[in-house]
Amino acid sequence: MKKLELHWQIMIGMVAGILFSLALTQVDWGPQFIDNWIQPIGNIFVKFLKLIAIPLILASLVKGASVLKDISKYRNIGLRAIVIGSIQEIVV
């Protein structure tokens, strides 16, 4: 049997999740089930995503800096960062 491609698996999962949530809102015990069981799992998932985001960004920055061969390019990158940060401070 041929395996479904990833984007189709994701779409099927999204549609199944929407249908499941709509079905749960139609029964009396559904909102309580969502609050007690589904919501904590979702909160844990979001916290794990936040936990992995910082090391991923840091690793990307370190990898990008290690690729630069000419150290004088760091000056240009630093100037751009300072200018963009200053502009954002003025706008906000």
**Tens-digit pLDDT profile for residues 18-27:** 999 999 999 9
CB proximity list for 31: less than 8 A, separation 6 or greater: 24, 25
The residues of the chain scoring below 70 in pLDDT are 73, 92
The pLDDT value recorded for residue 47 is: 95
Residue % of the chain over a pLDDT of 70: 98
The pLDDT value recorded for residue 2 is: 84
The pLDDT value recorded for residue 70 is: 72
**Contact present, 61 and 55 (Cβ < 8 Å):** no
The pLDDT value recorded for residue 85 is: 85
